[in-house]
Chain A
């Protein structure tokens, strides 16, 4: 137990030294570290609770994704049957599927095979999975098309992916520093912005779907009449002030055809506006529509609200235009950002928000530091008083242990939170315990009448088995915490887990090496503990 070959001792010291060195970048200002080679730049990231900032957890509205899947399917059914000149009635969404009644029984087989054609094979990671996107069933004249679960799951996954991309673009457009955007679970997105004190604007920007459509105003009846008549091709929408409009459901051009949007001012009224430009297909569609409808009003609809409903004075052929709608500068700015970044495939809801101001963050860092120093001082003095020279060894080992924790955390690029600091303070407790176990065992062996060297040897070999057992149990608890925890709790689990590993390393190698070296140098007759 006390014998180390030269190369083994060297390997132990080298490992400890290298791990400790990884902690070095944390003690230098960022400006300096950035000039170092990239492998030496890794450092601990302060959590939002320490450096201040805002964290938002967004949830993609999966119900709206489901609804949209059914709506698209319903339209596909319409087009397919019309194309095949099959007469039908009662097309509509019912429950989880789309139903349609085929009028003539001679069309049954044809309709079924045509509608079956809508069902696509689903592809997985390894080619086709054998599953299809739709279940098509027939019962008399009634054909039901139901999207399969894997198809819906796939669509939701796509929607979340798309949402992440758009959230990313919107956050970047706002010019926030070092935002982090990541997926959480199946349908959530975590947005973290360090240093952001007031997330009100961010929340407003992220809370909008920004689905922009250009549609015609239906002038065949008034909105009040439409409320009674329920026309199938039009719907009643309101503007900001609650004025009702009857708008056609058919979309002339959608926001997806926009290539640019910028805030500006109207040259005549000096009112804030948003100027936009279409891509070539959007420009063509818009030109055709405006040519055909000169003198009639059309509506710019954003998230099912009418922004404005101007009359087309002349055909707009250039592919660019402007939106005015009683904006102030900020609103025009935000709308331009939203239009540039694109529409979300489904609405996002903020399900969790945590914002920490910079004052509290700094207070927490100070509190953590004070606690760490006070705890360390108490423990160091107590160990010296209890074990004398060996207490000094223990203190050295624990100090190296803490340095190694910082090294490993830097290497992992881990996030240090306030509970994380608590985890380090507690690790000091665990690390001290491993030394206590060894020393108490040595005391026992001495009492049993062993010679000094014998007792030290036996003390180590017996205590280490116990240390291993007791630390693995704590490590299991830390692993579970890491797995189930989020944010600060996970930070605690990481430091605790890393702390246990470094504790095991120091107990099994460093402490032993220090004592072994001391034994070789002094050849002690009695153990001074």
Chain B
């Protein structure tokens, strides 16, 4: 049986050349994402801004959104949104936080339930009071920052500081772009979004670490190879793995996206963007070349020194091949 080869053997793409494009592009995209965050904002869910979310199934199919809008509008509960959710008779009602503390939120739910009466069945009622929502937001942010630093410290122990810093820059870049994506698409930003961001962080690091591992190995083996060549060789050597893994992850996510239901739709959509698009791009085009700028392997940059025989003489061609003599332990 002939096996599927997505990536041919011994690829020799010059990924590092793209750093002159990828760095400015990423910088620009990051700035756009930050601007989006500040000026367009995130569609914060009730977890973070408080308020009420009620999912109902109407007895009439499809739901008469206009009628519901007048019914709920008559209650004078401030801002509210109605939205079809997954099915034509499934409606999501979002009511903004009521002034007057935690007890006022409960009163609002009661009013809505009285107004809608028997015309609907309640699939879900979520009420988050002001004291909880502020806490959840700060815990979420603290968690994200804490995770980044914990991982940074781990990488610092396992590699050198340049690697840890490089991985951190790459991952903050991922988070920033994903937040930008969430702002642009107006996806609900709630607790599960924080979970999505942390998972993206984990996956993207996973990817970065796999390539860094290879770079470290090559650094030890080829003492004289120029840095861009060495990085190219490392990325090319792990290319097939990166692609295969991302195809499988994308397949898992695709299954979740198609069959996982509305409740985790925004979660999977975010993951799809973060893991498959940004994470892969970052580890190849940002995390790896940034090591050059952070000064890993300074002194070998020019490659002008006497080449080490024989592997380093024609680095890219023979780079993925490990030397026999030191291969066995």
Contact surface of A with B, Cβ cutoff 8 Å: 49, 57, 59, 197-198, 200, 203, 349-357, 359-360, 363-364, 366-368, 370-372, 374-375, 378-379, 382-383, 385-388, 418-419, 422, 425-426, 428-430, 432-433, 436-437, 440, 443-445, 447-450, 458, 461-462, 465-466, 469-474, 476-481, 483-489, 492-493, 496, 529
Within 8 Å of chain A (Cβ to Cβ): is B88? no
Within 8 Å of chain A (Cβ to Cβ): is B98? no
Instruction: Give A445 to B320 CA distance when docked, in angstroms.
Output: 9
Determine how close the nearest CB of chain A comes to the CB of B136; give it in whole angstroms.
8
Known contacts A437-B241, A466-B210, A473-B154; is-contact A371 B259 (Cβ 8 Å): yes
Q: Which residues from chain A contact B321 at a C-beta distance below 8 Å?
A: 447-449
Contact B260 A481 (CB under 8 A): no
Determine how close the nearest CB of chain B comes to the CB of A28; give it in whole angstroms.
26
Instruction: Give A484 to B198 CA distance when docked, in angstroms.
Output: 12
Known contacts A436-B241, A474-B205; is-contact A480 B264 (Cβ 8 Å): no
Contact B329 A496 (CB under 8 A): no
Determine how close the nearest CB of chain B comes to the CB of A435; give it in whole angstroms.
10
Determine how close the nearest CB of chain A comes to the CB of B222; give it in whole angstroms.
14
Contact A386 B123 (CB under 8 A): no
Q: Which residues from chain B contact A360 at a C-beta distance below 8 Å?
A: 55, 123-124, 263
Within 8 Å of chain A (Cβ to Cβ): is B106? yes
Contact B245 A484 (CB under 8 A): no
Contact A357 B122 (CB under 8 A): yes
Encoded as 1 (CB less than 8 Å from any A CB) or 0, chain B from 119 to 137 comes to 0011111111101100010
Contact A367 B209 (CB under 8 A): no
Instruction: Give A422 to B198 CA distance when docked, in angstroms.
Output: 14
Determine how close the nearest CB of chain B comes to the CB of A503; give it in whole angstroms.
11
Instruction: Give A425 to B199 CA distance when docked, in angstroms.
Output: 13
Contact B213 A364 (CB under 8 A): no
Q: Which residue from A59, A359, A437, A465 sits with its C-beta under 8 Å from B131?
A: A59
Contact B124 A388 (CB under 8 A): no
Q: Which residues from chain A contact B106 at a C-beta distance below 8 Å?
A: 203, 350, 353
Contact B241 A440 (CB under 8 A): yes
Within 8 Å of chain A (Cβ to Cβ): is B203? yes
Contact A375 B194 (CB under 8 A): no
Contact A422 B264 (CB under 8 A): yes
Q: Which residue from A197, A353, A378 sits with its C-beta under 8 Å from B127?
A: A353
Within 8 Å of chain A (Cβ to Cβ): is B254? yes
Q: Which residue from A388, A418, A443, A492 sits with its C-beta under 8 Å from B1?
A: A388
Within 8 Å of chain A (Cβ to Cβ): is B41? no
Instruction: Give A449 to B322 CA distance when docked, in angstroms.
Output: 10
Determine how close the nearest CB of chain A comes to the CB of B34; give it in whole angstroms.
23
Q: Which residue from B191, B237, B255 sits with its C-beta under 8 Å from A425?
A: B255
Determine how close the nearest CB of chain B comes to the CB of A427; give it in whole angstroms.
9
Contact B244 A473 (CB under 8 A): no
10 residue pairs from A and B, CB less than 8 Å apart: A357-B124, A360-B55, A370-B260, A388-B3, A429-B253, A445-B322, A458-B322, A469-B210, A476-B154, A477-B151
Contact B201 A429 (CB under 8 A): no
Q: Which residues from chain B contact A437 at a C-beta distance below 8 Å?
A: 210, 241, 245
Contact B259 A352 (CB under 8 A): no
| Best-surrounded residue of A461, A474, A529 (most CB of chain B within 10 A) | A474
Contact A382 B247 (CB under 8 A): yes
Contact B258 A374 (CB under 8 A): yes
Q: Which residue from A385, A422, A448, A476 sits with its C-beta under 8 Å from B322?
A: A448
Q: Which residues from chain A contact B213 at a C-beta distance below 8 Å?
A: 465-466, 469-470
Contact B124 A477 (CB under 8 A): no
Q: Which residues from chain B contact A493 at a C-beta distance below 8 Å?
A: 195
Within 8 Å of chain A (Cβ to Cβ): is B240? yes
Determine how close the nearest CB of chain B comes to the CB of A372; give it in whole angstroms.
8
Instruction: Give A465 to B213 CA distance when docked, in angstroms.
Output: 8
Encoded as 1 (CB less than 8 Å from any A CB) or 0, chain B from 252 to 274 comes to 11111011110110011001000
Q: Given A351-B102, A449-B321, A471-B206, 4 other A-B contacts at CB below 8 A?
A: A419-B192, A476-B151, A481-B147, A484-B146
Contact B251 A480 (CB under 8 A): no
Q: Which residues from chain A contact B21 at a C-beta distance below 8 Å?
A: none
Interface size class, chain B = 35 or more
Instruction: Give A357 to B57 CA distance when docked, in angstroms.
Output: 11
Known contacts A375-B252, A444-B237; is-contact A481 B244 (Cβ 8 Å): no
Q: Which residues from chain B contact A49 at a C-beta distance below 8 Å?
A: 263
Within 8 Å of chain A (Cβ to Cβ): is B249? yes
Within 8 Å of chain A (Cβ to Cβ): is B17? no
Q: Which residue from B9, B127, B252 sits with its C-beta under 8 Å from A429?
A: B252
Determine how close the nearest CB of chain A comes to the CB of B246; give it in whole angstroms.
9
Smallest CB-CB separation from A474: which chain B residue? B202
Q: Which residues from chain B contact A363 at a C-beta distance below 8 Å?
A: 261
Within 8 Å of chain A (Cβ to Cβ): is B40? no
Contact A444 B327 (CB under 8 A): no
Residues of chain B in range 38-97 having any CB-CB distance to chain A below 8 Å: 55, 57
Q: Which residue from B143, B255, B267 sits with its C-beta under 8 Å from A378?
A: B255
Contact B155 A473 (CB under 8 A): yes
Contact B241 A474 (CB under 8 A): no
Contact A470 B256 (CB under 8 A): no
Contact B129 A354 (CB under 8 A): no
Q: Which residue from B57, B102, B127, B210 sits with its C-beta under 8 Å from A359?
A: B57
Q: Which residues from chain B contact A492 at a C-beta distance below 8 Å?
A: 192, 195
Contact A374 B4 (CB under 8 A): no
Q: Which residues from chain A contact B238 at a C-beta distance below 8 Å?
A: 440
Known contacts A375-B252, A458-B327, A478-B202; is-contact A351 B247 (Cβ 8 Å): no
Within 8 Å of chain A (Cβ to Cβ): is B142? yes
Q: Which residues from chain A contact B249 at a C-beta distance below 8 Å?
A: 426, 429, 433
Instruction: Give A487 to B47 CA distance when docked, in angstroms.
Output: 12
Instruction: Give A479 to B146 CA distance when docked, in angstroms.
Output: 11
Q: Which residue from A379, A470, A484, A488 sits with its C-beta under 8 Å from B248?
A: A379
Instruction: Give A355 to B54 CA distance when docked, in angstroms.
Output: 9
Q: Which residues from chain B contact A471 at a C-beta distance below 8 Å?
A: 206
Smallest CB-CB separation from B129: which chain A residue? A351
Q: Which residues from chain B contact A485 at a C-beta distance below 8 Å?
A: 143, 191, 194-195
Determine how close the nearest CB of chain A comes to the CB of B124; give it in whole angstroms.
5
Contact A351 B132 (CB under 8 A): yes
Contact A461 B329 (CB under 8 A): yes
Within 8 Å of chain A (Cβ to Cβ): is B139? yes
Contact B124 A436 (CB under 8 A): no
Known contacts A351-B132, A448-B321, A476-B154; is-contact A371 B256 (Cβ 8 Å): yes
Known contacts A59-B102, A466-B210; is-contact A433 B125 (Cβ 8 Å): no
| Best-surrounded residue of A375, A447, A477 (most CB of chain B within 10 A) | A477
Q: Which residue from B110, B146, B202 sits with its C-beta under 8 Å from A473?
A: B202
Determine how close the nearest CB of chain A comes to the CB of B126; give it in whole angstroms.
5
Instruction: Give A440 to B7 CA distance when docked, in angstroms.
Output: 11
Q: Which residue from A383, A469, A496 sits with its C-beta under 8 Å from B199?
A: A496
Instruction: Give A335 to B120 CA distance when docked, in angstroms.
Output: 31
Q: Which residues from chain A contact B303 at a C-beta distance below 8 Å?
A: none
Instruction: Give A342 to B142 CA distance when docked, in angstroms.
Output: 40
Q: Which residues from chain A contact B22 at a C-beta distance below 8 Å?
A: none
Instruction: Give A132 to B203 CA distance when docked, in angstroms.
Output: 52
Instruction: Give A368 to B251 CA distance when docked, in angstroms.
Output: 15
Smallest CB-CB separation from B329: which chain A residue? A461
Contact B327 A480 (CB under 8 A): no
Within 8 Å of chain A (Cβ to Cβ): is B103? yes
Instruction: Give A472 to B131 CA distance when docked, in angstroms.
Output: 35
Instruction: Give A302 to B68 CA distance when docked, in angstroms.
Output: 39
Contact B10 A447 (CB under 8 A): yes
Q: Which residues from chain A contact B27 at a C-beta distance below 8 Å?
A: none
Contact A473 B126 (CB under 8 A): no
Instruction: Give A198 to B322 CA distance when docked, in angstroms.
Output: 66
Known contacts A379-B252, A529-B3; is-contact A422 B268 (Cβ 8 Å): yes
